[in-house]
């Protein structure tokens, strides 16, 4: 979760495995949007001697649809290159790394950024941008926060870019949820398959705490992401994809992998939990290979989600109204709107992120809604229109939001006669941003400073 | 927060056009190509193949190379790119030829047969 190791094939290819996507109007620069795509899940900070890095053989894309057809109108592309200064040492660094050009930093990555526009093609914006090192420890990276900050680069035409290690900002009780849908705060209500293991509620456990990810972050002027013209929609759809070339072949003579052929998509992520929770196991790899415009074939998994059918059985007597809704066979038009089209005007007062009738899993952000002065981590269902599913901020509690939506809390949006179960309004895995040790930042790139390998785990 | 200024002027619209759409392909089929083994894939040894194949036999035009796709400054820059041939179907003579970021479908039963004979 939200897309960490979510499909069988991509779980074996971590450098191409997208974990989370964020899109929000920048709170400190409200004439810009921030887009973040995270990769390489569940990084143990003490990852030496070969610390984590992006794949030189992977093309990372962040896509923007600004006309609602589920196809990319603008794509930012990232390619990485690893450099080894001294192949004769076994060390990642041979002394403290105080600057990004430190000769003591032995294995480093740089990257290029290109932008592809569906109208006019592709242009390289910058090359040779340096990533920060991984956060090794107090001797190797003694001033890491400051060092990583110097890896924020300006882009021509306006905007900022950063690519490198950050603290994982997504919080989830993975161990409980994937133990047959157990939620610790309600585990005494779980049917426990008759085993009577739990007798009382327990606090959630953040299984992604003190782990790192690799982030690709952009902060772009609104004018760079919206369709041209005064009547253009303020709503954009955002997703990321990772792409590999057709052929990977090991050249034994050279001792290296040869990549050849056109790039093909191997990983995709828009809304959190879409492929993870809604798409069935037998189709997750297929979903990862397709663009959002092809998502109509997955719509039935949204309008009849398997988890909604499971909850009443897992928690006997807790979700009677949800059970009746599932039994009725009525499609979950609320979930279809939230995840596949955006919410049309008139559903939530003062809000829409509707992009049209094309069914496409994208993170939809209405850029005309100002950042919230007092954010609510439950986003729109918490009365905060600047939060998920209006885009997604780094601290939004998407697990609880999605759990409650699937449990029926949002169904009255499309059927006012439906009364959600009381549990639908309180169900949660029991975590909040306080479950994340590294604090989020108030400025770009917003995700916390990467945990170091010396102090973690403590 | 300090930033490195990489600005070199405003974004200009290049004349060429290439959409970012992604054709359908499953990851399994992608990796399957890499796992075909010596009987199905030939790399490097047939470096002159692309030039030798009659143009009329190609069923798909070569894709354009873009700086980003080559990974500007990437590991492969300035090196001879290998040619990888996948004999899809020895019976019909269909071959996939990969070089750089291009893919060409070739129909050449004689060549397919010769490649297969080299693996026996």
**pLDDT tens digits along A164-200:** 999 999 999 999 999 999 999 999 999 999 999 999 9
Inter-chain CB proximity B21 and A72 less than 8 Å: yes
Q: Which of B15, B16, B67 sits opposite A124 (nearest CB)?
A: B67
Q: Which residues of A touch B22 (CB under 8 A)?
A: 241, 243, 264-265, 290-291
Which of B7, B11, B25 shows the shortest C-beta gap to A123? B11
Token pair, residue A329, equals 């066979």
Helix axes A320-328, A306-314, angle to 10 degrees: 140
Judge: B5–A153 Cβ closer than 8 Å, yes or no: yes
Give the separation between CA B68 and CA A456, rounded to whole angstroms.
36
- The whole-number pLDDT of residue A383 equals 97
Contact B18 A122 (CB under 8 A): yes
- Looking at the complex, report in whole angstroms how far the Cα of residue A86 sits from the nearest Cα belonging to chain B: 17
Q: State the pLDDT at residue B80.
A: 76
Which of B3, B63, B79 to mutate to probe the A interface, most A CBs <10 Å?
Answer: B3
Minimum Cα–Cα distance from B45: chain A residue: A251
The whole-model pTM stands at: 0.87
**A63, A122, A128 ranked by CB distance to B73: nearest:** A128
Q: Can you read off the two tokens belonging to residue B103?
A: 């893919």
Q: Which residues from chain B sit within 8 angstroms of residue A157, using beta carbons?
A: 7, 10-11
Residue-level pLDDT at A371: 98
Query: How far is the C-alpha of A216 from the C-alpha of A210, rounded, in Å?
Result: 19
Nearest to B71 among A112, A149, A156 (CB): A112
pLDDT of residue A5: 86
Looking at the complex, report in whole angstroms how far the Cα of residue B86 sits from the nearest Cα belonging to chain A.
9
| Domain regions of chain B by residue span | 40-61+81-120
B80 touches chain A (CB under 8 A): no
pLDDT band at A436 (very low <50, low <70, confident <90, very high): very high
- The residue in chain B having the minimum alpha-carbon distance to the alpha carbon of residue A262 is B101
Give A378 to chain B, closest Cα distance, Å: 29
Separation in Å, CA of B44 to nearest CA in chain A: 9
Q: Where are the domains of chain A?
A: 10-435
CB contact under 8 A, A246 and B30: yes
- What is the pLDDT averaged over residues A353-359? 98
Choosing among A261, A270, A289, which should be mutated to test the B contact, i.e. which has the most B CBs within 10 A? A261
**Chain B: nearest CA to A74, how far in angstroms?**
8
Mean pLDDT over A321-326 rounds to 98
Higher pLDDT, A282 or B49: A282
Q: Which token pair is A13? A: 């290819």
The pLDDT > 90 percentage for chain A reads 94
DSSP annotation of A446: -
A33 confidence band (pLDDT: 50, 70, 90): very high
Count Cα neighbours of B98 within 13 Å in the Cβ-side half-sphere: 24
Q: Are B21 and A71 in contact (CB under 8 A)?
A: yes
Q: Which of residues 20-59 of B touch A (CB under 8 A)?
A: 20-28, 30-31, 33-34, 41, 43-44
* Residue B72 predicted with pLDDT over 90: no
Mean pLDDT of chain A: 96
Q: Do B43 and A249 touch (CB under 8 A)?
A: yes
Q: How far apart are CA A389 and CA A22, in angstroms?
A: 11
Provide DSSP, A205-222.
Answer: --TTTT-EEEEEEEEEEH
**Interface residue B78 vs chain A (CB under 8 A):** no
* More confident position, A419 or B34: A419
In Å, how far is A186's CA from the nearest CA of chain B? Answer: 38
Mean pLDDT of chain B: 56
Q: How far apart are CA A377 and CA A396, in angstroms?
A: 4
Report yes or no: A246 and A264 within 8 Å, Cβ to Cβ.
yes
Mutate to test the interface with A, among B72, B76, B80 (most CBs of A within 10 A): B72
Q: Which of B26, B33, B66 sits opposite A247 (nearest CB)?
A: B33
CA gap A451, A134 in Å, rounded: 9
- Using one digit for the tens of pLDDT, what is the confidence trace for A244-298? 999 999 999 989 899 999 999 999 999 999 999 999 999 999 999 999 999 999 9
Which residue in chain A has the smallest CA separation from B4?
Answer: A153
Give CA–CA dist B111/B5, Å, rounded: 53
Instruction: Assess whether pLDDT exceeds 70 at residue A11.
Output: yes
**Confidence (pLDDT) at B88:** 87
Partner-chain contact A152 B8, CB within 8 Å: no
A127 to B72: CB separation less than 8 angstroms, yes or no: yes
First to last CA, chain B: 63
Residue A336, helix vs strand vs coil = helix
Sign of CA dihedral B34, A58, A87, A12: negative
Asked if the model's pLDDT at residue B59 lies above 80, the reply is no
Whether the predicted pLDDT of B24 surpasses 50: no
If pLDDT is split at 50, 70 and 90, which confidence band does B89 have? confident
CB A135, CB A450: distance < 8 Å: yes
* The pLDDT of residue A213: 98
State which of A365-379, B57-71, B106-120 shows the largest mean pLDDT: A365-379
Q: Which residue of A110, A261, A288 is in closest CB contact with B103?
A: A261
**What is the chain B residue with the closest CA to A160?**
B3
Please give the average per-residue pLDDT across A46-72, as a whole number: 97
User: To the nearest whole angstrom, how far is the Cα of A347 from the nearest Cα of chain B?
Assistant: 32
Cβ-Cβ contacts under 8 Å for A165 (sequence gap 6 or more): A43, A52, A132, A134, A135, A148, A212, A213, A214, A215, A450
Cβ distance B72 to A124 less than 8 Å, yes or no, reads yes
pLDDT higher than 80, residue B69:
no
Per the CB < 8 A criterion, the answer to whether A38 and A21 are in contact is: yes
Question: Which class for A62: exposed (0-12), middle (13-18), buried (19 or more C-beta within 10 A)?
Answer: buried
Q: How many CB pairs under 8 A join A and B?
A: 187
Q: Which of B4, B11, B22, B81 to substitute to test the interface with A, most A CBs within 10 Å?
A: B22
Which among A41, A23, A40 has a CA at the least distance from the CA of A32? A23
CA A444/CA A448 separation, integer angstroms = 10
Which of A206-210, A272-276, A396-400, B40-44 shows the lowest per-residue confidence on average (mean pLDDT)? B40-44
**Res B95: pLDDT:** 95
pLDDT at B20 over 60: no
């Amino acid at each position: 979760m939200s897309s960490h190791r979510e499909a069988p094939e991509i779980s074996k290819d971590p450098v191409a495995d997208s974990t989370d996507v964020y899109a929000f109007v920048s709170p400190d620069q409200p004439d810009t949007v921030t887009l973040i795509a995270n990769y390489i899940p569940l990084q143990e900070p003490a990852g030496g001697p070969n610390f984590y890095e992006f794949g030189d053989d992977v093309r990372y894309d962040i896509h923007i649809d600004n006309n609602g057809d589920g196809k990319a109108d603008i794509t930012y592309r990232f390619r990485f290159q690893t450099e080894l200064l001294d192949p004769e040492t076994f060390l990642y660094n041979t002394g403290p790394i105080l600057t990004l050009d430190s000769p003591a930093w032995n294995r480093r990555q740089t990257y290029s950024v290109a932008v592809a526009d569906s109208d006019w093609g592709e242009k390289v914006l910058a090359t040779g941008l340096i990533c920060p090192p991984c956060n090794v420890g107090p001797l190797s990276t003694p001033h890491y926060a400051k060092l990583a900050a110097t890896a924020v680069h300006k882009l021509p035409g306006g905007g900022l870019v950063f690519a490198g290690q950050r603290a994982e900002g997504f919080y989830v009780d993975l161990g409980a949820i994937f133990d047959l849908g157990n939620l610790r705060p309600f585990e005494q209500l779980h049917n426990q398959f008759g085993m009577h293991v739990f007798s009382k509620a327990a606090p959630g456990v953040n299984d992604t705490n003190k782990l790192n990810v690799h982030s690709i972050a952009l902060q772009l002027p609104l004018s760079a992401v919206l369709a041209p013209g005064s009547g253009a929609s303020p709503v954009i759809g955002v997703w990321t994809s990772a792409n590999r070339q057709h052929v990977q072949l090991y050249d034994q003579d050279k001792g290296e992998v040869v990549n050849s052929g056109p790039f093909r998509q191997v990983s995709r992520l828009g809304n959190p939990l879409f492929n993870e929770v809604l798409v069935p196991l037998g189709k997750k790899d297929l979903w990862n290979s397709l663009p959002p415009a092809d998502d109509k074939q997955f719509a039935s998994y949204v309008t009849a989600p398997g988890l909604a059918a499971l909850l009443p059985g897992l928690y006997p007597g807790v979700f009677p109204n949800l059970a009746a809704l599932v039994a009725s066979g009525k499609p979950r038009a609320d979930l279809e709107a939230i995840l596949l089209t955006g919410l049309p005007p008139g559903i939530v007062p003062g809000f829409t992120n509707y992009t049209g009738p094309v069914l496409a899993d994208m993170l939809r952000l209405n850029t005309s809604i100002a950042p919230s002065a007092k954010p609510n981590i439950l986003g729109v269902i918490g009365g905060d229109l600047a939060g998920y599913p209006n885009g997604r901020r780094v601290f939004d509690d998407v697990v609880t939001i999605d759990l409650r939506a699937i449990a029926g809390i949002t169904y009255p949006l499309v059927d006012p006669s439906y009364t959600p179960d009381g549990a639908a309004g309180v169900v949660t895995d029991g975590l909040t941003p306080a479950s994340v040790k590294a604090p989020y930042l108030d400025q770009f790139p917003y995700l916390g400073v990467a945990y170091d390998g010396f102090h973690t785990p403590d | 927060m300090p930033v490195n200024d990489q600005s070199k002027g405003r974004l200009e619209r290049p004349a060429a056009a290439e959409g970012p759409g992604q054709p359908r392909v499953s990851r399994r089929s992608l990796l399957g190509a890499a796992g075909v083994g010596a009987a199905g894939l030939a790399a490097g040894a047939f470096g002159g193949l692309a030039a030798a194949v009659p143009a009329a036999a190609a069923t798909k035009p070569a894709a354009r190379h873009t700086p980003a796709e080559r990974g500007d400054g990437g590991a492969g820059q300035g090196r001879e790119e290998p040619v990888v041939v996948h004999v899809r179907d020895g019976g019909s003579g269909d071959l996939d030829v990969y070089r750089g970021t291009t893919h060409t479908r070739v129909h050449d039963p004689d060549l397919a047969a010769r490649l297969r004979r080299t693996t026996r």
